Amino acid sequence: MSATLYPDAPRSNRDAPWWQYALANFAFAISVTLLLSNSWKDSFLMNFTIPKPKIAARRAIGALLIGGFGSAMFMAAFPKQAAAVIAQAITTSFKCSTSTACLTGANSQSGPGVSATSVNGIGLIARSTNSSAVSGTTTAPANQSGILGIDSGKSASNNGVSGTSTYGFGVNGLSRSGAGVIGQSSSGSGVAAFSNTGYGIQTQSNNNIAIVDFSGGTGIYSVAGGSGSAFQAVATSPAYLLTGTNSVTDQDEVSIDSNGNEILAGTLTQSGQPLVRTTTSTGNTVAAYSPRTSSPTLEDFGEAELVNGQASVALDPTFATAIDQRGKYMVFLSPQGDNAGLYVTLISSRGFAVRESRAGHSTLTFDYRIVAKPYDTNAARLVAMGRSSGLRRGRALLPIPTRH
């Protein structure tokens, strides 16, 4: 229902000139005089085909006729002023002090129970002091909503449903078995969240996953400005900050626990120099660099004794099973005393032998370093790759949602 009989109806009595209301009052007085005159009253009220009403009934009917006739004359003579009066009556607020609704709308067909329309303002405003301002419930079997918001405009700043809160949640979605909040969009953002100082989106799960995403494109696209973070995860041990699962094998491919320990099932490729944060004995922190090799290697280090110019060194059993036994490994020696020179001989899958040059008979301690090819890789040496190899460069990014 809307007061649109005359869109330009005056909003108050001040919008109409005084002579119109004087004329209206004069017409109303004439109608009352005619109804109260004996000749007109007797000819109209006393000649019904039904039995004569009693005096009280006659007066009641006369009052109704007076009010109806006067109102009809007023609406016919001054339709704009009448529309203003009707609009004022329609927009009257409802007040009650019961446990039930002050105003309800029931529709047994497919139409809405309550419909609110506004040209330039808000169609419906609901306020509550101690409870929910708007509550929506549906018992439909499927594909329906307790509260449905539809925006048919063509502006990107419009909202189907908008939630605003000063201290609490702007929108709070709770479900016992399904999704608390679901956002769908054909071309824009399914869910867009903005915050000045707090969190744009905050999710929490006590015993399960806080965010689940299914996408044929970009699952989660986050943009941050200033000193904020595009993505922030908080976890308490033994929970994980991040896990990535292969949908085919149902196996975790990447995980980061609450202590920052990361596990990758695949290959880590980077363009920059790997750095390791290292703490010194003085308590300072410095950056240490990782070595680069032309092919995958597995190394082991140790110390052995040369006695009378001879030594036998056995490989660590675990190290021996972790290297590729089909190829030879390399051994580098560093003697800790004067000698004629040391060399390696008799290299096998179980170990190697060390001898002193020129049939020397020195007795001393020496260090060794073993470099071998890992058992679980066949990666080629110095594989050529472009700058953007493995990176999805040049793909069209999603437009940043407009804040409003």
Q: How does pLDDT run across 131-158, given as a tens digit for each residue?
A: 777 777 777 777 777 777 777 777 767 7
* Residue 7 pLDDT class (50, 70, 90 cuts): very low
Sorted by where each starts, the structural domains of the chain and their CATH numbers stand as 13-90 (no CATH), 234-267 (no CATH), 298-372 (2.60.40.2080)
Is there a contact between 252 and 262 (Cβ–Cβ < 8 Å)?
no
pLDDT in tens, 320-332: 999 999 889 999 9
For residue 39, pLDDT over 50 is answered with no
For residue 44, pLDDT over 60 is answered with no
For residue 186, pLDDT over 90 is answered with no
* Interval 43-64 mean pLDDT: 55
Is there a contact between 84 and 21 (Cβ–Cβ < 8 Å)?
no
Which of 226, 234, 225, 228 minimizes the C-alpha distance to 203? 234
pLDDT confidence of residue 149: 76
* Interval 306-330 mean pLDDT: 96
pLDDT in tens, 233-291: 888 888 888 888 888 898 889 999 988 899 999 888 888 888 999 999 999 999 999 88
**CA distance linking residue 340 with residue 322, whole number of Å:** 34
* Residue 86 pLDDT class (50, 70, 90 cuts): low
Written as one letter, the residue type at 259 is N
**CA distance linking residue 223 with residue 150, whole number of Å:** 26
For residue 317, pLDDT over 90 is answered with yes
* Residue 110 pLDDT class (50, 70, 90 cuts): confident
The pairing of beta strand 351-356 with beta strand 310-314: antiparallel
Does 47 or 234 have the greater pLDDT score?
Answer: 234
* Interval 80-109 mean pLDDT: 66
Is there a contact between 330 and 370 (Cβ–Cβ < 8 Å)?
yes
